[in-house]
Structure 1
Amino acid sequence: MLRTHAGGDACVPVASAICHGPRTTIEKEILRNQNAFRKNVKQNALDYAFQVEAMKLENILDGLHVSLTRRRWTQLFTVFTRILLACGFIPPSIKKILHQPFTMLPDSNPVGHYFNALYETGFYYEFIGWAQLAAAILLLFPRTAHFGALMFLPIIVNIAVLTTSVGFVGTWVLTILMSLAAIWLVAWEYDRLKPIVFQTRAERTRSIPYQFISIPAFFAIGGAVMAFLWKLIRLGNFSNYLNIGFLLVGIGLVFGFVVAVHYRFMRVGNLETGGDELI
């Protein structure tokens, strides 16, 4: 259908008038829906591409894990490694639990200085011993060996870095080998740990109205309240609490924005618990 101008010498489509004229509410809603659809399509395409790459890596690791864990010699080696590492942790853990010095080196020696200072930390010294003993005991039982491996690894890596840093002659080689053995034990539990790496939660967090404004504003108000309380109790004895207030408000805004971004992209786990619904 054509519409003729007043002069009668030109015709333009009605659709042109609609496009160039003011948009109606329906047209605006259609455009919003189209933009939202394009964003969803783009996001789904990116998610699909990421899932494809993850599946490739997942298949490679699955095949490697199966080929290793199905061999008798690797199974025996894993059992041997578990028992050996457990035995390596039990004696030093007992000394710490009984609060006995780990070494007799003088403070002039970097190793002796460190362990003598560690010995003076009170129950923290004993806590390290209990942690080592717990990791060792967990490694001894097949049912709990995966917990033992996960607990053993950070402890022995910390010890390896320490002994290498202070130049503990000979011991640093042993602790590095123990760290590699602990990595083997964690890798052996790949089938248990796989869901943490490759399974993606499908559900998103529930939206908050104007969350990129409301959440930073909430923490900014919290910063202002904190500044008022600081001034009220004279915390820190600052000369200008007004500047402190502005600083805390700014920190609250930045902190709140980071919280809002994290909340926006966070996924939520969902367990089937008999149809319970989120309230």
Structure 2
Amino acid sequence: MTQINLLRQKTSLCLLVIYVRYLIGGAYVFSGIGKAMGERFIQAGSMQIPPMGMTLDVFFETLYRTGLWWQFLGWGQLVSGFLLLTQRWSTLGAVAFLPISINIFLITLSMDFHGTPLITGLMVLANLGLLGWDSSKLSPLLQPNQDTTVSIHWRGDQLGHPRYWAGLGLVIFLTSISFGNRVNPPLWLLVCLVEGLIGWLGWWFFRRGKPNDERL
């Protein structure tokens, strides 16, 4: 645990963790909003049912026709993504995401999504990395019936500016909600990347104006 706390003092790693949360949270909000609103993932008119087996479009249409479960899956992604994007409740978001991310990875693996399992597998690893980063907060849950003292410092997790990073997360959340499944994913990703870059530049310029003893 001491090693994790030492890593949390490194500015570059803190920034990496913050932006990984943005990436995963934004991606699941983007993909989950359509499901939560009861929209199809693939248009029904494009479906083709083969003599044997099931194609991806038929698979998603079957999930869509479950109705309540389809929307529940979308809301699960939406809420978990929001928690990650807030940074303040990111630990809870990472815990909620673990079964979701593993489930999605196994689906892409089982249905032969070509290169997609590589992406979803990396997201599972990133999810596990976020849980490892917050292991000091989770350790009391893994050690029941033991006297444990938990000390949480925002400065070592969000570079001393939790409200700033939470605000940027809200911008990315609203952007992902607005785009949803209705536009090209590359366009959504580009807009979020620009927002993230502007946010990083804003933090960097603000940090430059601080005295050396106040910098991280």
Aligned partner of 1:68 among 1, 4, 7: 7
Q: What is the distance in 2 between the residues matched to 1:185 and 1:177?
A: 12
**Same amino acid, percent of matched pairs:** 30
Which residue of structure 1 aligns with residue 41 of structure 2?
102
Q: What is the distance in 1 between the residues matched to 2:49 and 2:21?
A: 35
Matching of residue 200 in structure 1 with residue 145 in structure 2? yes
Matching of residue 122 in structure 1 with residue 61 in structure 2? no
Shift of 1:167: 0.3
Count of aligned pairs: 141
Shift of 1:69: 1.4
Query: Which one has a bigger Cα radius of gyration?
Result: 1
Aligned partner of 1:84 among 8, 20, 23: 23
Aligned partner of 1:185 among 130, 150, 155: 130
Q: What is the distance in 2 between the residues matched to 1:79 and 1:106?
A: 42
Q: What is the distance in 1 between the residues matched to 2:135 and 2:146?
A: 19
Shift of 1:147: 0.8
Contact 2:21 2:87 in 1 (8 A): no
Q: What is the distance in 2 between the residues matched to 1:72 and 1:193?
A: 22
Shift of 1:98: 2.1
Which residue of structure 2 aligns with residue 217 of structure 1?
none
Shift of 1:201: 4.5
Which residue of structure 2 aligns with residue 93 of structure 1?
32
Contact 2:80 2:96 in 1 (8 A): yes
Matching of residue 139 in structure 1 with residue 84 in structure 2? yes
Q: What is the distance in 1 between the residues matched to 2:49 and 2:101?
A: 24
The ranges of structure 1 where at least 4 consecutive aligned residues each deviate by more than 6 angstroms after the TM superposition are none
Aligned partner of 1:169 among 114, 121, 124: 114
Shift of 1:197: 1.9
* 1:186-207 Cα distance to aligned partner (Å, 9 max, x none): 11111111112235359xxxxx
Which protein has greater RCO, CA pairs closer than 8 Å, 6+ apart? 2
For 2:129, the aligned partner's letter is W
Which residue of structure 2 aligns with residue 41 of structure 1?
none
Contact 2:32 2:73 in 1 (8 A): yes
Which residue of structure 2 aligns with residue 258 of structure 1?
none
For 1:106, the aligned partner's letter is Q
Shift of 1:103: 2.3
Shift of 1:171: 1.6
Which residue of structure 1 aligns with residue 103 of structure 2?
158
For 2:62, the aligned partner's letter is A
Contact 1:138 1:145 in 2 (8 A): yes
What secondary structure, in the 3-state scheme, does the structure 2 residue paired with 1:67 have?
helix
The gaps in structure 2 that reach 5 residues or longer are: 148-216
Q: What is the distance in 1 between the residues matched to 2:36 and 2:141?
A: 34
The two structures, once aligned, show a CA RMSD in angstroms of 1.7
Q: What is the distance in 2 between the residues matched to 1:167 and 1:93?
A: 21
Contact 1:107 1:116 in 2 (8 A): no
Q: What is the distance in 2 between the residues matched to 1:107 and 1:73?
A: 49
Q: So what's the TM-score if we normalise by structure 1?
A: 0.48
Shift of 1:73: 1.2
For 2:132, the aligned partner's letter is A
